[in-house]
Chain A
Amino acid sequence: MDSMLKNIAQFTLFFSIGVVIFAFAGYENHLSSYQNSDSNAIPETLEEALLILGDEKPIHYIATADPDSVRMGMEMVYYGQLLDESNDPISKYFVCTDCHNQVLESANPADESADAVLEHSMTNNIPFLPASTFYSMYNKRHWYNGDYYKKYGDLVAPTRDSLYNAIQLCATQCSQGRAMDHWEIRAVLHYYKSLELKINDLVFTEEEKQQLGNWIVNDKTSAIALLKTKYNDTNPATFGTNKTPEVPGYEPSAKNGEYIFTMGCLHCHDPQTGITNFTMDNDPLTLRYLYRKKDKYNNMAVQHITRYGTYAMSGRKQYMPMYSFEKLSEKQMLDLLHYLKVEDTTIN
């Protein structure tokens, strides 16, 4: 009996020791120690870094993205209204994602040229769209820039320096929808905040990294200036004409053209989207039709419709936005036309 009790006591002792050891082993750094907050932690977002260095806050400054607002903003961007349908659809015709991507469109945020965007898009299978991506929209300081006054006139004036007003103009004019309520725009702003540029998105050389490290300590103004060269706070917009581009020596790429047609044109004109009345696909009927209309001075000519777009009118409010030179280069236009020609089997 004594022996059995001794064995039980021994087992209990060893078991208890084992439990204590393994318990603490499993929770190392949590139960057995505490961490000091690190005041020298590298900021995660670009805005955080700029503010630490003493830059001004934007008008639409949001300290922290509220998860629930981000969700609501995202639902409105993707679906035009909250998924529980507690608000009215913003537009009958479009949702934001018809024209705007939600990811970085180029490998280097400082280079958002049409060529850089196409290359990055083809690598990552990203739609090739006429409007600026919402990723980094929060970090911009000016909207509806350049030639957008030609399309929207004085309506762009209040939007040039205000993201809040730019969202409202996009809702009422670009999407031909209703004016958004204040809370809705705030939710979209929170969603934008969740898509702000991160430090890791920016592209630095090794030399620049060292320089930045030094300037952060010694010369904050130069550090801010360097950071601001690593992204664009403005997306310029230059509208073109329907003229067929002439780029001496350029050999158009059918592969690029196919991507532009498939991930650009068909993003809206695919019959499955239901966005447009003029549906298209990659079949020869469509491609042949487009190529043969290319020299017309009307909406059926690819150069014409792409550079001019269309306008909303009574009874037909949904319209096509135009591709500025910054969103579709002259070379890319030639690529697109070349693809249509190559696919027109009756020509070859």
Chain B
Amino acid sequence: MKKLLFIVSIIVAGSVTYGQEPVLESFAGTRVLSNHSIEMLPKRSLEFRVSHKFGDIAGDAGGINNFFGFDNLADVRIAFEYGILDNLDIGVGRNKGIGLISGVVDGYAKYRILHQKTTGMPVNLVFVSSLALPYKPAVSDSTSVASYPRFLNRLRFTNQLLVSRKFSDRFVLQANVGYNHRNYVDYLDGNGLLFAGVSSRLRITKTFGLLVEYNHVLNRPEGVAANYQNPLSVGIEILTGGHSFILNFSNARALNENLFMPETTANWLDGQFRFGFSINRQFKL
């Protein structure tokens, strides 16, 4: 927690001063890589997003036999997201899902509480609340996390606070802290997980930038901690005006925060990282 406070304090204490307008375009889209960014959709804008993650590039499941993961599909998410107000977005998506948690519908609402200004307000502050529902039939094995004795067992929730500061036209830093709750988990696992993370964007040119995103689960139960990893992603963005292409490498297989925060098991050091991309397109309604 001290580390998190330290990160937040660094962001708040940023030194670059702008004019008096809202600071715009901290990130190119509403996601950094997999997780939400502080960026909002303009009012009455509909965004169509397609995100995709392939199989392991290296390790036992990767290599040339699977053409470095391109023969396998880790997860895919197709979503529509809408800006109700300039400070309020909603979205629904459908994920392939990972492992036993497959066929997942997700939805979220996102509200911008504070907007960084050129003078005065130094940071953006955004709250995101999301829900995921695996809708496929429950498995018959009663010891499985996918056995879902009751409908409510299927639900999982994530609530996050995102704080960011655009330090310059080139550099943006974002920190997030949140709580993930799964209604139904393994015997030794915990329903509620606290996590904190940091993300950053470094623009190299007007249309090209580097991105990094890391989240750390803070209270994973000791009995299962060895089975899980913290999601780390690095990527690049290519902007074309109207489209943005985000290409990333990540150990997380899932694309939704309700899945990749609690369920990431792949390890970078074992070659279990994958290529992924997302494409989004905005329409004015």
Residues in chain A within 8 A of chain B (CB atoms): 92-93, 271-272, 274, 276-279, 281, 283-286, 288-289, 315-316, 318
Contacts and interface: CB of A to CB of B under 8 A. Distances in A.
Contact of B170 (A285, A289, A318): A285
B71 interface: no
Contacts of A93: 284
Contact of B205 (A274, A277, A289): A289
Contacts of B42: 274
A278 B241 contact: yes
B25 interface: yes
Nearest to B22: A272
A310 B229 CA distance: 48
Nearest to A279: B25
A288 B207 CA distance: 11
A244 B284 CA distance: 35
Contacts of A285: 169-170, 203, 205-206
Contacts of A316: 242
A158 B138 CA distance: 66
Given A285-B169, A316-B242, A272 B21 contact: yes
Residue picked from B22, B203, B207, most chain A C-beta under 10 Å: B207
Q: Rank and list the top 9 A-B pairs by shortest CB-CB distance, nearest first.
A: A278-B241, A289-B206, A277-B242, A283-B169, A271-B24, A92-B284, A285-B206, A277-B241, A274-B42
A316 B281 CA distance: 10
A272 B24 contact: yes
A51 to B, nearest CB: 44
Interface string B204-240: 0111000000000000000000000000000000000
Contacts of A289: 205-207
A288 B206 contact: yes
A142 B169 CA distance: 45
A205 B22 CA distance: 48
A224 B72 CA distance: 80
Q: What is the predominant secondary structure among interface residues of chain A facing chain B? A: loop
Interface in B1-50: 21-22, 24-25, 42, 44
Contacts, number: 36
Interface residues of B, number: 19
Contacts of B205: 285, 288-289
B282 interface: yes
B24 A286 contact: no
A347 B243 CA distance: 29
B285 A92 contact: yes
7 contacts: A271-B25, A272-B21, A278-B241, A283-B169, A285-B203, A286-B206, A315-B283
Given A92-B284, A277-B282, 4 more contacts: A278-B241, A278-B242, A289-B206, A289-B207
A284 B204 CA distance: 11
Nearest to A274: B42
B124 to A, nearest CB: 14
Contacts of B284: 92-93, 318
Contacts of A288: 205-206
Contacts of B22: 272
Interface string B95-126: 00000000000000000000000000000000
Nearest to A92: B284
A296 to B, nearest CB: 13
Contacts of B25: 271, 279
A288 B282 CA distance: 26
B242 to A, nearest CB: 4
A285 B285 CA distance: 31
Contacts of A281: 169
Nearest to A281: B169
Interface string B255-271: 00000000000000000
B116 to A, nearest CB: 13
A288 B242 CA distance: 20
B141 to A, nearest CB: 47
A284 B168 CA distance: 11
A276 B285 CA distance: 14
Contacts of B206: 285-286, 288-289
